[in-house]
Amino acid sequence: MSAEIESVTETIDADIVIVGGGVAGSAMAAALRNSDYKIVVIDKRTAPLDSARGDNFTPANAEIFSQWGILDEFIKRGATKRVGAEFRTSAGEVLLTSSYSEIDIPEPYFLVYHHDLMAETFQEIASVNPNYQLLQPYSVKGFEIEAGSIKSITATSNDGKNIKVRAPLVIASDGSTSNIRAALGFPTFEHPYQHNLVSIFAPYPKELTPQNYFYRYSDPSGHVIIQHRNKGTAKVILAVGEEGMPWWKSATPEQRAEFLARRAPILEGIETEMAGFYPARMIHALQYVSGNTVLIGDAAHTIHPARGQGLNMGISALPNLLAKLPTVAELKDPNKVREALLAFEAIQKPLYERSIARNHVAAMDMEAAAGENHEFVIKRQDEALRKVAATPAIRRRYLHESTGYPLPSSPVTNAQYLV
């Protein structure tokens, strides 16, 4: 198959081309900053990423950053630490309160960093590599494909300049609607969720303490999540329930505050700004590799934001990919490239099948809490949280899962706790 575009003005030969400089692709470039590879990242964006998306790195990823020697880069640019989580009812009961330092992990905190800053920070870190080149804004539209491998990519600038990029290894991190996934015909498993998510920005409620925690409030009418952001702000997230999307689109700031305060009284009178509406969909590629091309990030696995793990999965796969990358000399042999990528897939896919299945359970639970039987479902979920709080084995499993660490061997099943 060939979809090459006419009038190429320049050809770049690289070792690795990364298509998509969002969080996953840019993190990969940053991780490779001290390597010998000649790396080209192509991204079509003309603006920063959407700030309302994931704004934290898990403790497991903070540990990875520490190993890569880049953790301080985030701290010095203003990242803060979220050290625990608390689940409350609208009536004032604390169902579960937990601190990540309860388990033995080296960086027991989520690193809070706004989404619109993430990719650019990784790119800045990557740019210490003299062999790194960023083509932005350049959109990938044309591919030369041969036997399931991408032989060349044509990137087009806004003013119509076409650059051909050739590399023996292609990393596709072009997001949930990945062009590369479609062009190479990767099969996917998909599940659309019914309830859209609403994301709202607000000043951080001063009385909500401790300040550096994640909060979820439950009320018989539904849930509200409150996450502190940097610079005295907060993000409020909820699944749209029986009030419907039109209500959210037309509600005044006062109506929004009243709605939110019914579920989380701490939000009474809060000034809010709508950040976005998000249809949720699971898309999992049935394979991550075709010839010389590997999918990473949302291109490989887009998940429901129920557990706040999407961007973090895009990063936590990278150490396994880095460990399998062929050397510069080995890149000359297409068989070595394919074998290396398949070795990565063999490790990563089973791990993520498990995480994605777990995430789907949490997503369906969030759907149920926004659905017709919300009162019954929320009562059951509250009960499950009391059990997490009171049962050490379940509590430990919950803490490991939510911080992004592989599950410790445990007899506890998903059915025993659904949070």
Ligand X SMILES: Cc1cc2nc3c(=O)[nH]c(=O)nc-3n(C[C@H](O)[C@H](O)[C@H](O)COP(=O)(O)OP(=O)(O)OC[C@H]3O[C@@H](n4cnc5c(N)ncnc54)[C@H](O)[C@@H]3O)c2cc1C
227: nearest Cα among 217, 242, 213: 213
Residue 29 C-beta: closest distance to ligand X, Å = 11
Contacts of 184 (CB under 8 A, 6+ apart): 145, 148, 150, 290, 291, 293
Q: CB-wise, 81 or 336, nearer to ligand X?
A: 81
CA–chain centroid gap for 119, Å, is: 12
Region at 100 (left for phi over 0; alpha for psi -120 to 50; beta for the rest): alpha
- Name the amino acid, one letter, at 402: S
> What's the length of the chain?
419
Give yes or no for a contact between 364 and 315, defined as CB atoms under 8 angstroms apart: no
Question: Does the protein bind ligand X through residue 139 (CB under 6 A)?
Answer: yes
Report 12-31 residues binding ligand X (CB under 6 A): 19-25
Residues 271-290: x where in contact with ligand X by CB under 6 A, - otherwise, as a string: -------x------------
CA 412 to CA 42: how far, in whole Å?
Answer: 44
Residue 300 C-beta: closest distance to ligand X, Å = 8
Q: Which one of 36-44, 258-266, 326-334, 382-390 is the stretch in contact with ligand X (CB under 6 A)?
A: 36-44
Question: Does the protein bind ligand X through residue 42 (CB under 6 A)?
Answer: yes
Question: Does the protein bind ligand X through residue 142 (CB under 6 A)?
Answer: no
CA 101 to CA 71: how far, in whole Å?
Answer: 18
Q: CB-wise, 26 or 90, nearer to ligand X?
A: 26
Q: CB-wise, 239 or 385, nearer to ligand X?
A: 239
Residue 30 C-beta: closest distance to ligand X, Å = 12
Phi, psi of 135 (to 5 degrees): -105, 105
Q: Indicate the helix (H) or strand (E) that contains 246.
A: helix 244-250
Site for ligand X (CB under 6 A): which residue of 312, 355, 402, 403?
312
CA 132 to CA 134: how far, in whole Å?
Answer: 7
Dihedral in degrees, nearest 10, Cα atoms 302, 305, 310, 312: 180
Question: Does the protein bind ligand X through residue 394 (CB under 6 A)?
Answer: no
Site for ligand X (CB under 6 A): which residue of 14, 30, 31, 43?
43
CA 293 to CA 338: how far, in whole Å?
Answer: 8
Residue 332 C-beta: closest distance to ligand X, Å = 27
Question: Does the protein bind ligand X through residue 297 (CB under 6 A)?
Answer: yes
# residues contacting ligand X (CB under 6 A): 34
Question: Does the protein bind ligand X through residue 140 (CB under 6 A)?
Answer: yes
Question: Does the protein bind ligand X through residue 174 (CB under 6 A)?
Answer: yes
Q: CB-wise, 98 or 179, nearer to ligand X?
A: 179
Give yes or no for a contact between 12 and 165, defined as CB atoms under 8 angstroms apart: yes
Residue 57 C-beta: closest distance to ligand X, Å = 8
Site for ligand X (CB under 6 A): which residue of 59, 84, 175, 326?
175
Report 49-88 residues binding ligand X (CB under 6 A): 49, 52-54, 56
| Three-state secondary structure call for residue 81 | strand
51: nearest Cα among 200, 178, 250, 174: 200
Which residues would be at the binding site for ligand X (CB under 6 A)? 19-25, 42-45, 49, 52-54, 56, 139-140, 173-175, 179, 197, 199, 278, 297-298, 305, 308-312, 314
